[in-house]
Amino acid sequence: MTEPLLAGALAEEATKKSGLIWVRGADGGTARPLWHVWHEGAAWLVGDGPVEQPFPEGLAAGARAEVSVRSKDKGGRVVEWTALVEEPAPRSEAWEAAVAELKGKRLNAPDGEGVVERWAAECRVLRLAPVTAHTELPSGSLAARPVASPATTREPVPDALPRLLFRRKRRR
């Protein structure tokens, strides 16, 4: 009985302290880092607008999402939890309360005080309510393979590089 309670408390505290959470939609695609705010027992997100963060595929009202929370100092995974995605109607009471919190955390908004109007017209505000928390983390890295790109090709190391890097200063 205490294990689910402790896991839920760990998920809440870790999410509150983290600046970003990694969210994977219902389709099981790639997880995206999203800034959020913890408000009234859930993580709230704003995005999918022309200037705001893009949400991962499959993040829709009524769907489930997987949330991974990482440590602020070391970057390692602390906890993962499953969330139920809710999308309150713009200008509803819950929406207004969450947007007031989100507005305070939004850095460098291009329209300053008009951000709330823009969010109501162009963006989606989502509530990720925790359903279950998983304290047993996977043993693998879960790192995605890099996308193929000509920028990732390696050239041989120039012959003079080791001499330049490891040249000792001569004593006089």
Which CATH number does the domain housing residue 58 bear? 2.30.110.10
Residue 148 forms part of a structural domain = no
Determine the pLDDT at residue 1: 38
Domain encompassing residue 13:
2-138
Query: Tens of pLDDT along 27-36?
Result: 878 889 999 9
Q: Classify residue 164: in a domain, yes or no.
A: no
Domain membership flag for residue 158: no
Q: How far apart are CA 142 and CA 33, in angstroms?
A: 14
pLDDT for the residue numbered 153 = 62
**Would residue 81 count as lying in a domain?**
yes
Question: If you average pLDDT over residues 73-96, what whole number do you get?
Answer: 92
- 54 within domain boundaries: yes
**Does some domain include residue 110?**
yes
Model pLDDT, residue 137: 66
For residue 130, is it within any domain? yes
CB atoms under 10 Å from CB of 85, counted, come to: 21
Each residue's pLDDT tens digit, 49-63 = 888 999 998 999 999
Residue pair 79/10 in contact (Cβ under 8 Å)? The answer is: yes
> Concatenated DSSP letters for 107-166?
-S-TTGGGHHHHHHHH-EEEEEEEEEEE-S--SS--PPPPPP-GGG--PPPPTTHHHHHS
Phi, then psi, of 139 in degrees rounded to 5: -80, -25
Q: Is the four-CA dihedral 79, 81, 85, 88 of positive or negative sign? A: negative
CA–CA dist 88, 25 (Å, integer): 18
Q: Are 24 and 138 in contact (CB under 8 A)?
A: no
Task: For the chain, give the mean pLDDT.
Answer: 86
Q: For residue range 64-81, list pLDDT tens digits in order.
A: 999 999 988 888 888 899
Question: What average pLDDT does range 133-146 have in this prediction?
Answer: 74
Flag whether pLDDT at 24 surpasses 60. yes
Is the pLDDT higher at 123 or at 112? 123
Share of the chain above pLDDT 90, in %: 49
Assigned domain for 144 exists: no
Q: What is the mean pLDDT of residues 80-98?
A: 95
Number of domains composing the chain: 1
